[in-house]
Amino acid sequence: MSQRLAQQLNILGLYALSVVLGFAFYDQFVGGSLPCPLCILQRAGFVAVGVGLVLNVLRGPSPQGYGIMIVAAVAGAAIALRQVALHIVPGTGEYGPPFLGLHFYTWAFVVFALVILGAGLMLFLQREFGIAGRPGALGTLSVALFLLLTVGNGVSTLAECGTGLCPDNPVAYDGLADFRAWIGR
């Protein structure tokens, strides 16, 4: 596999990851489903996977970038699997509405597993590593979109949780209320 093709596949992966984070935002703000603490940790896992992709887009595909992706995806998959296990027993309830028959935490596990598989295949198929050239406009846009979604996730988490622990079953942006109270002092 050529360096250029590998870089293009990393750019495509970064766009796909941005779609995942963007859809989570859409569900949060349009669907009104505030993310639970485990959901926030899964988003953090996706952001960490994105760090590996960003490195591969900007500096050329490397074993280090793929390694970051794999380690982050293993951690994210463990968190998603924990949430699946919490809701798999009948009568324990569920968190959030299903999408195409599965809940977001189940989809998160599937996506993390695909990241592990994809990064492993890239390590296996790529013959050489190094600088692949400039990422171009699409590569730069993929990085900018991902960074925007990452900052947005950080801000929304602060708005929801403030500087304390996130509520187990969030129903409001408690962090904003805390901020307003702090300003009013």
What range defines the domain where residue 158 resides? 3-183
Whether 125 shows a pLDDT value over 80: the answer reads: yes
Quick one: pLDDT at residue 182?
Answer: 67
CATH number at residue 153: 1.20.1550.10
Average confidence (pLDDT) over 120-131: 80
Quick one: pLDDT at residue 184?
Answer: 67
**If DSSP codes are grouped into helix, strand and coil, which group holds residue 96?**
coil
* b/e 99-127 (16+ beta carbons within 10 angstroms → b): eeeebbbbbbbebbbebbebbeebbeebe
Count of residues making up the chain: 185
Quick one: pLDDT at residue 149?
Answer: 95
* pLDDT tens figures, 51-79: 999 999 998 888 999 999 999 999 999 99
Quick one: pLDDT at residue 54?
Answer: 96
**Which one, of 166, 170, 130, lies nearest residue 3 by Cα?**
130
Number of folded domains that form the chain: 1
How big is the CA angle at 16 (ends 97 and 168), to the nearest 5 degrees?
A: 35
Euclidean distance between CA atoms 105 and 73, whole angstroms: 13
What does each C-alpha distance from 132 to 62, 66, 68 come to in angstroms? 10, 15, 19
Q: Please enumerate in sequence order all residues whose Cβ is within 8 A of that of 90, keeping only pairs 6 or more positions apart, or say none.
A: none
